[in-house]
Amino acid sequence: MKKEKDSKPFYKKVWFWILVAILAIGGSNALTKQTSSKADEEKASALKTAQELVESKASFSEKTLLWYLTESASHKYSKKAAQYAVENVGDVWVNEALDIAKEERSEGKTDQEILKSLTDKDAQFTEEQALKAIEKLNE
């Protein structure tokens, strides 16, 4: 007697599904690496931009820099990349606040007026950052 040949379609065979699983896993790993690489590039670019901005004459708080990197017309980084940049640009916030405080002192403002200005909805420095900046200003 002859053995009957297995007449199942190829997509119902175990070897087919093992092959599909291997290809799917391999493909998803490649896609993840590519996506991860693009995210890393965006973070690096956002950090470079943040460093350039805090080194410029403009002064930024953490919140205003985050807004600028994500919402301004010239920069549209993802929130994740912008947050990474803000967290890794360095401990610059007191000095950024100090720049504004110096300018406001030259306009004749008192410590209280400067504190209010640094912590208002426009500047958005924390009270601690503003107080440290005023302390440095008065040294």
Q: Which domain holds residue 60?
A: 46-89
> Would residue 116 count as lying in a domain?
yes
Whether 20 maps to a domain, the answer reads no
Q: Are 47 and 88 in contact (CB under 8 A)?
A: yes
The answer to whether the predicted template modeling score (pTM) of the entire model surpasses 0.85 is no
CA–CA gap between residue 21 and residue 27 (Å, rounded): 10
Looking at the fold, whether 85 and 97 belong to one and the same domain comes out as no
Q: Which two tokens stand for residue 87?
A: 């967290």
Same-domain pairing of 100 and 84: no
Classify residue 18: in a domain, yes or no.
Answer: no
Which is nearest to 136 in space by CA: 93, 90, 101? Answer: 101
How high is the pLDDT of residue 106? 96
User: Could you report the per-residue pLDDT of 21-69, keeping only the tens digit for each?
Assistant: 776 676 656 555 566 788 889 999 999 999 999 999 999 999 999 999 9
Helix, strand, coil percent content, the chain, rounded in steps of 5: 70, 0, 30
